[in-house]
């Protein structure tokens, strides 16, 4: 009997999401979809980048705290943290007291903090500012993302369907947008399957074969061909996930949070030799207009505990020198606290870069708290310099091609 797309909707699970590269699939029993382009794979021991998007606008001034700079306590009479509370880095700045594990990693030389990162003519809209960070094009409405352009150029011959992944909620948005670049969204290894595993194997294989026939990329017509390519990419990505080696053994206890679970999944993928070059994750909730002191401390603790366990796990698996992790937010907060125990949308903020081969320390300059732009910090480091350094020095990609021109290389790699 000939199967139709309707059959998949009846017998499959979340197939339409699959075609968006975020849903479940199954692999062929004979493993016939193993990639033939192994020479272009990039290798399971290549360097990997983990990007963590801190959505909502993280308060950089209460993350990397300028406790020794004039104007901090005047602007934040209730939100300001004292020197006794701060995890000091030098006589000017220190980390929030929730960031104990990141502070320890900083002292070990594994954490770089780039101060005052932003872009010209900053936008206070969550949507527009995040779009700017994801496209790396502040001057215009970008149609492609910086990681999408990286994948389309530097990874164009990499046949690995798992070369770039969104983990968890799939917050990458425009970051991976590019022509002929499809990035799977994976929430867990166990649920990333095409059909109900309880279904008889003969029925699974019948549906799998019908799916591959239906979404054959050799079909004529641009629209149909693009749809077929996306379907086949989705199928191949799940096949690759199911064929990962069993290299991961749990050696570290992670906290019970979504970001910790997502970071552990990154380690599982790398330990299984997924060959992934870029992972994208999200931790949200940083839009602290009210009652910031308690809420911000709680979120930073969640981030700190997750990253601490993640780095410990990387070390336990022997992967710490292969992974660099970058955490950013779409903007910082205004210098002066508001009347609701919170802060409003601002501009420049720190970017964290963590890894076994990262040259830890402070980079850039903390912006002045008194010489302001209408109440906002004046950025000191263009965020594209961070991207340029990561692509050029860590991923060994075509940074100038991705970003349109060269930018200052920072010294953290």
Instruction: Identify the CA nearest to 13 among candidates 191, 239, 238, 227.
Output: 191
- On whether residue 128 sits in a domain, the answer given is yes
- What are 50-84's pLDDT values in tens digits? 999 999 999 999 999 999 998 999 999 999 999 99
Number of structural domains the chain divides into: 1
* pLDDT reading at 181 higher than 80: yes
36 or 294, which is more confident = 294
- On whether residue 284 sits in a domain, the answer given is yes
35: helix, strand or coil: coil
For 342: left if phi > 0, alpha if psi spans -120 to 50, otherwise beta; the answer is beta
- On whether residue 145 sits in a domain, the answer given is yes
Please work out, in degrees rounded to the nearest 5, the angle formed at the alpha carbon of residue 332 by the alpha carbons of 99 and 108: 30
- In degrees rounded to 5, what are phi and psi of residue 166? -100, 130
Q: What is the pLDDT of residue 240?
A: 77
- What are 187-221's pLDDT values in tens digits? 888 776 655 556 676 765 666 666 666 666 666 55
Q: What is the pLDDT of residue 212?
A: 61
What residue has token string 């934040």? 76
Are 353 and 372 in contact by the 8 Å Cβ rule? The answer is no
What are 34's two structure tokens?
């193993």
> How far from the centroid of its chain's Cα atoms is residue 341's Cα?
30
Q: What is the pLDDT of residue 308?
A: 98
- What are 159-172's pLDDT values in tens digits? 899 999 999 976 67
- In degrees rounded to 5, what are phi and psi of residue 362? -95, 135
| Residue 353 to residue 390: CA distance in whole angstroms | 9
- On whether residue 131 sits in a domain, the answer given is yes
Instruction: Please report, for the domain that includes residue 78, its CATH number.
Output: 3.40.720
- On whether residue 408 sits in a domain, the answer given is no
What are 171's two structure tokens?
């917050």
What residues make up the domain containing 54? 42-191+252-403
- What are 332-385's pLDDT values in tens digits? 999 999 999 999 999 999 999 999 999 999 999 999 999 999 999 999 999 999
> How far from the centroid of its chain's Cα atoms is residue 141's Cα?
21
Q: Give the end-to-end CA distance of the chain in Å, rounded to a whole number.
A: 58
* pLDDT reading at 128 higher than 90: yes
Q: What is the pLDDT of residue 16?
A: 40
- On whether residue 47 sits in a domain, the answer given is yes
Are 84 and 384 in contact by the 8 Å Cβ rule? The answer is no
Range with the poorest average pLDDT among 27-31, 62-66, 201-205, 264-268: 27-31
| Residue 398 to residue 392: CA distance in whole angstroms | 6
Instruction: Identify the CA nearest to 240 among candidates 41, 95, 17.
Output: 41
Q: What is the pLDDT of residue 244?
A: 85
Average pLDDT, the chain: 86
Q: Which helix (H) or strand (E) holds 117?
A: strand 111-118
Instruction: Identify the CA nearest to 170 among candidates 180, 184, 151.
Output: 184
| Residue 413 to residue 411: CA distance in whole angstroms | 6
Q: What is the pLDDT of residue 191?
A: 72
Q: Following CA atoms 29, 169, 357, 135 in sequence, which dihedral angle do they give, to the nearest 10 degrees?
A: 110
* pLDDT reading at 44 higher than 80: no
Q: List CB contacts of 32: < 8 A, sequence separation 6 or more.
A: none
Q: List CB contacts of 256: < 8 A, sequence separation 6 or more.
A: none
* pLDDT reading at 401 higher than 90: yes
Q: What is the mean pLDDT of residues 302-322?
A: 98
- On whether residue 222 sits in a domain, the answer given is no
Q: What is the pLDDT of residue 228?
A: 55
Burial (CB count within 10 angstroms: exposed 0-12, middle 13-18, buried 19+), residue 213: exposed
Question: Can you name the residues that pair with 373 across neighbouring β-strands?
Answer: 376
- On whether residue 323 sits in a domain, the answer given is yes
């Amino acid at each position: 009997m000939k199967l139709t797309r309707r059959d998949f909707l009846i017998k499959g699970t979340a197939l339409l999401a699959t075609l968006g590269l975020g849903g479940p699939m199954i692999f062929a029993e004979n493993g016939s979809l193993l990639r033939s382009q192994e020479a272009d794979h990039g290798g399971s021991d290549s360097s990997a980048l983990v990007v963590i998007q801190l959505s909502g606008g993280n308060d950089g001034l209460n993350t990397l705290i300028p406790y020794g700079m004039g104007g901090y306590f005047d602007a934040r009479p209730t939100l300001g943290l004292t020197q006794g509370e701060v995890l000091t880095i030098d006589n000017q700045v220190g980390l929030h007291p929730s960031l104990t594990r990141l502070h320890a990693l900083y002292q070990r030389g594994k954490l770089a903090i780039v101060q005052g990162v932003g872009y010209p003519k900053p936008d206070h809209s969550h949507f527009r500012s995040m779009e700017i960070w994801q496209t790396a094009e502040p001057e215009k409405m970008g149609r492609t993302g910086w990681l999408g352009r990286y994948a389309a150029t530097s990874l164009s011959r990499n046949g690995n369907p798992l070369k770039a992944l969104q983990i968890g909620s799939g917050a990458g948005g425009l970051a991976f947008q590019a022509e002929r670049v499809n990035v799977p969204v994976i929430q867990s290894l166990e649920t990333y399957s095409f059909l109900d595993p309880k279904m008889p194997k003969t029925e699974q294989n019948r549906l799998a074969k019908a799916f591959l026939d239906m979404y054959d990329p050799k079909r004529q017509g641009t629209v149909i061909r693009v749809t077929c390519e996306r379907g086949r990419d989705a199928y191949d990505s799940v096949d690759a996930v199911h064929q990962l080696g069993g290299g991961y053994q749990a050696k570290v206890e992670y906290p019970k949070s979504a970001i910790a679970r997502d970071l552990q999944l990154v380690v599982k993928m790398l330990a299984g030799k997924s060959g992934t070059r870029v992972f994208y994750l999200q931790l949200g909730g940083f839009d602290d207009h009210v009652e910031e002191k308690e809420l911000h401390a709680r979120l930073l603790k969640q981030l700190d505990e997750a990253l601490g366990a993640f780095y410990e796990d990387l070390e336990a698996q022997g992967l710490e020198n292969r992974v660099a992790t970058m955490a950013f937010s779409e903007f910082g907060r205004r210098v002066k606290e508001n009347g609701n125990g919170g802060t409003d949308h601002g501009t420049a903020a720190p970017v964290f870069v963590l890894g076994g081969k990262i040259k830890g320390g402070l980079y850039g300059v903390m912006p002045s708290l008194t010489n302001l732009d209408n109440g906002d910090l004046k950025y000191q480091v263009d965020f594209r310099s961070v991207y340029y350094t990561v692509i050029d020095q860590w991923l060994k990609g075509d940074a100038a091609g991705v970003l349109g021109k060269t930018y200052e290389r920072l010294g953290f790699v």
